[in-house]
Structures are given as C-alpha cells and as structure tokens.
Amino acid sequence: MIHIKWQAFVIFLILFLFVAGLGFWAANWRKGDLSLLDEWGLGGRRFGTWVTWFLLGGDLYTAYTFIAVPALVYGVGAFGFFAVPYTIVLYPIMYIVMPRLWRVCRANSFVTPSDFVKARFDSRSMSLAVAVTGILATMPYIALQLVGIQAVLVAMGVASSGALKDLPLFIAFAILAAYTYTSGLRAPALTAVVKDVLVYLTVIVAIIAIPIKLGGFGHIFSVSQVALAAKGGSVNLPPKLYGAFATLALGSAFALLLYPHVVTGTLGAKSARTIERNSALLPLYSVALALLAILGFMAIAAGIKTSVSSEVVPLLLLKTLPQWFVGIAFAAIGIGALVPAAIMSIAASNLFSRNIYKEFFNHDATTQQEAKVAKFVSLIVKLGALLFVVVIPLKYSIYLQTLGGIWILQTGPAIIGGLWTRWLHKKALLIGWTVGMAWGTYMAYTLKFASSTYGLKIFGRTELGYAAVWAVIANIIVVIVLSAIFNAMKLSNGVDRTSPSDYLPEANPESALKTS
C-alpha cells in the first residue's frame, strides 16, 4: 500500500504553499499595469542585479538539471560532468552576447528574439522560424520540469500508484498556472529567491553530511570506479569521449542562451550593465551544480540501485539525510521546477502572441490584446506540458528535449550573428536554418534520440561530437557561402529597422548616468 513519508511531506507542503502565496502576491510587487505585455511578460524591464541574479539562476539551473545531471554521473561517471565546463564557458558568452541583445531590444521595444530577427533582417519567415523553433524547444523542457516535481512526489510516497497518482502533480501545476497568469514574470522572479535559499542550504548540507556518512570522497570515488567500470563508465574521462565532452559543453552553452526563457529572463533586467554584472556573479551557481553532480557518485557509493534516472537523487537524499531535512531538499527541487516552468511558459507565450498571433492573425493587435493572448497561451502551454508527462512515456519527453537543444542552436546564426553583422543574407539564414534543423534531426534519429553525440565521419576518421554542433557548423557554412553569393548577385536583403547606435553601450541609460 501507499506509504507516505509524512515528516518530509509536511515540510514540503508548507514550503510549497508559502511559495504559491508568494507567487500570487508578486502581482503587487513593484506594481505595474499587468495588462501590458511589457509588464506581464518582462516584469516592466526593471529587475536590478539581485533580482536578475535569482531569476536567471532559477532559469538556468532548473529542477531537471538537479535531477538529470547527478543521474547522468550516476550512470556514466565523468562524462556527466560536462555540465560544469558548460556552465563555465556560458558566462563569457553571456557577457558578450546578452547585453548587446538587451540594448537593441530595449531601444526598439522588442519582447522576443523573433522581434529582433524580424526587424534586423526584414524577414517574416525567418522571424517565424525563430518563434516556432523557440516554442518547440521550450515545450519538452517544461514537461521535464514536471518530471522533477513528479520524482520527489513519488519518492515521498504521495504519487506512487492508483487512479489518483497524477493528482498531486495536477494540483501543483494548477497553482503554478494560476499565479503565472495573474503575476507574469514577477512571480518566478520572487519565488526564485526562496528556491535558491533552499537549494544552497540543501547543497551545503548534502556535500558535508553525506560524504561523512559514506566514508569520505576518496572512498566514494574508489567505490564508484569499480561500480562504473562494470557497466562501461569511468571516474576519469576516456580519450574517445574528449571531443564529445568538449562539443557538448560548448554547444549547450550557446544553445542555452538562445532558449526563449533565457532571453526573457535577460530582457527583464533594467540595464545592460545589470546583465554584465550577473555574468560575473552567476558562476556561483555552477559551484552548486558541480557539487550536485558529485551526488551521482555518492549515490553509487551509498548503494542506490534504480533504473529510473529521475529517482537517483531523491533516493540518495532519503537514504542518507534525516527525513525532515529531505522535506526541505525536496521542496528545493519542487520549487526549482516551478520557477523555470513559469518563465518558460511566459517566454513561449510571448513568442506566440507577438510573432505568430499578432504577425499573422491580428496585425492591429494592441499591447493589451497581446498580453491577453500571451496569458491565455501560457495556460495552454502548461496544460500541454502536463498532458505530455501524464499521457506520453517519459522517454519521449527526454528525446524531445534532446531534439530541442539541437533545434534551438540553429537559431544562433540569425540571432547572435545578426547582433554583429547585417552582411548575412536573410534568405541564406533561412536556408541555413533549414539545413541545420533537417540534418540535426536526422542525426538524432539515427541515434534513436537516445543520445546527442554523433560520430561524424570526416577526413577518414570518426569524430564523436554533439549533434547540435555538427548541425550548426553546416548551418553556418551554408549561411556564409549563400550570403556571399546572394550579396554578389545583389539580391534584395530588405531594410534594417534597427540603427547601429541601438547596439552600443552609449545608448544605455545607466552608463550615461554614470559618465555625467
């Protein structure tokens, strides 16, 4: 029969309800007119350094990350640690790319990356491609956040069996949907603070208490080496995986910055300088992530045996920590799912409302109508994600998320390339995107969607690498070659609706204040 771990569950419930209350209250925080898309969908672009830090932290380091990274380490060892170089090189790229994107979006009141692509390249089709890619890549990501909540509910014995097994998940998601609807981006910004306090608390306790209990890191790693070697993994990275490890880290870093929810989180900042400051401060989260990754080895050493990867971390915590503290840790994971799920659904809704609804169905939509549509779509998006998790087997969500990473990187040439040059031809960008999407999907297909590292035969040898990176290299080559040809043919490249000064720091009000 169902055995509920009451101590953990009660603490989980209290923290969860507190955060839900906070989410609703957020509508009143730094009050703005929430019937405008800029206010609902970007928090009025007023978030300072601290709020942005928490918001992006909640956005980048999600519940799924906290569950999946240690689980991968548990399964294969060192290779799973690619998440660490990934979240290291992320920040130099963020520092260079995102403030520039923020400036041009602010100067032209863009809400989404699609808005930017449309104005920069005068191309509705490329803008639509960016919007559709963004929505497709985000949906499975939201679904996987739900898997995070589901994993801790199952571990507490609340959602294990019977006809009502998905009920707690439905309730959690209904609450999330309701407060996202009423408060917009303010809700995840505020709840992210609670999430982070809980996450850091959990990480610090886990990284000190569990190794003491298991006999120290030296012992944990030597036990892990033996256990991993038996199933083909290793505590040290084998040379045949060097290429895959490095391309996965680099490709994931670029891909992450192109995800709509990350763009939304960044555009909510009050200045470009806020984003630069955050690029220097956010690596602190990577420390937490690295320590969490090591939980995968601790799970091996603690003798956790499971074939369900999302259960690795919950089972380890239950086995090694007092139950009341596990309640706190599980709340960190549960709330860690709510924060990014809210931002993701807002970002996907912004894209739909601005770049599909207004662009193709109601060209004269007012910003109030845009906001109304976005709010409504945010509910649909979450319902879709929920059905996904409940109706379709889990592995398909993971496959789709793998595909999502490959797909979203294909918008890089238009978005990141477009920030620096307009030499790229809009038709070349569209063809390059098509090539990248098609080949990327094909590679994933040949891997049966189970892995994203593809062995590319090149110069007589096979190079293992992240499929998204191979696909985007092809994409970039096509874009450059065709741009050269189209420009030489003097094929019309439309009108750039942004101006060169939109991209420069001098246009940034905060720096203008400081120099005066």
Verify binding: residue 277, other proteins, rule CB under 8 A: yes
User: Applying CB under 8 A, which of residues 220, 343, 371, 403 lies at the interface with other proteins?
Assistant: 220
| Spatial separation of the C-alpha atoms in residues 118 and 126, rounded to whole Å | 7
| Contact with other proteins (CB under 8 A) among 150, 202, 279, 345 | 279
Q: How far apart are the first and last CA of the chain?
A: 70
Between CA 212 and CA 172 the distance in angstroms is 35
Stretch that binds other proteins, among 82-90, 339-347, 408-416, 424-432 (CB under 8 A): 82-90
Token duo for residue 229 = 């070697």
Applying CB under 8 A, among 136, 287, 379, 507 the residue interacting with other proteins is: 287
Q: Which of residues 447-506 bind other proteins (CB under 8 A)?
A: 504-506
Query: What's the min distance (Å) between Cβ of 36 and other proteins?
Result: 32
Q: Is 283 in the site for other proteins (CB under 8 A)?
A: yes
Nearest CA-CA partner of 53 in 268, 237, 238: 268
Rank residues 239 and 393 by Cβ distance to other proteins and give the closer one: 239
- Structure tokens given for 91: 């920040």
Of 327, 276, 263, 278, the C-alpha closest to 117 is 263
Query: How far is it, in rounded angstroms, from Cα 70 to Cα 250?
Result: 20
DSSP for residue 109: T
CA distance 71 to 74: 5
Encoded one letter per residue, x for contact with other proteins by CB under 8 A and - for no contact, window 176-215 reads: -----------------------------------x----
User: Phi/psi class of residue 463: alpha, beta or left (left: φ > 0; alpha: ψ in -120 to 50)?
Assistant: beta
Applying CB under 8 A, the span of 4-12, 271-279, 378-386, 489-497 interacting with other proteins comes to 271-279
Beta carbon of residue 59, minimum distance to other proteins (angstroms, whole number): 18
Separation CA 164–CA 368 (nearest Å): 39
370, 353 contact by CB (below 8 A)? yes
Which of 20, 63, 67, 78: binder of other proteins (CB under 8 A)?
Answer: 78
The residues in 238-267 that bind other proteins, with binding defined as CB under 8 A, are 238-239, 241-242, 245-246, 249-250
Q: Which residues, numbered 88-107, are part of the site for other proteins (CB under 8 A)?
A: 88-89, 91-92, 95-96
Contact 56, 265 (CB under 8 A): yes
CB of 253 to other proteins, least distance (A): 10
| Stretch binding other proteins (CB under 8 A), from 236-244, 302-310, 331-339, 366-374 | 236-244
Helices marked H in 122-185? 124-155, 167-183
CB of residue 288 vs other proteins: minimum separation in angstroms? Answer: 10
294 sits near other proteins (criterion: CB under 8 A):
yes
d(CA 305, CA 326): 19
CB nearer other proteins, residue 205 or residue 281? 281
Q: For residues 45 and 106, what is the distance between their CA atoms, to the nearest angstrom?
A: 9
In the complex, what is the shortest distance from the CB of residue 48 to other proteins, in angstroms, rounded to a whole number? 15
What's phi and psi for 448, nearest 5 deg? 55, 30
Q: Which of 217, 376, 396, 449 lies at the binding interface for other proteins (CB under 8 A)?
A: 217
Q: How far apart are CA 451 and CA 448, in angstroms?
A: 7
Size of the site for other proteins (CB under 8 A): 46
Among 1, 3, 218, 500, binds other proteins (CB under 8 A): 218
Closest to 261 measured CA to CA, from 347, 188, 183: 347
Closest CB to other proteins among residues 411, 508: 508
Single-letter amino acid, residue 9: F
Q: Does 237 bind other proteins (CB under 8 A)?
A: yes
Q: Which residues are near other proteins by CB under 8 A? A: 78, 81, 84-85, 87-89, 91-92, 95-96, 211, 216-221, 235-239, 241-242, 245-246, 249-250, 276-277, 279-281, 283-284, 286-287, 290, 294, 504-506, 511, 514-515
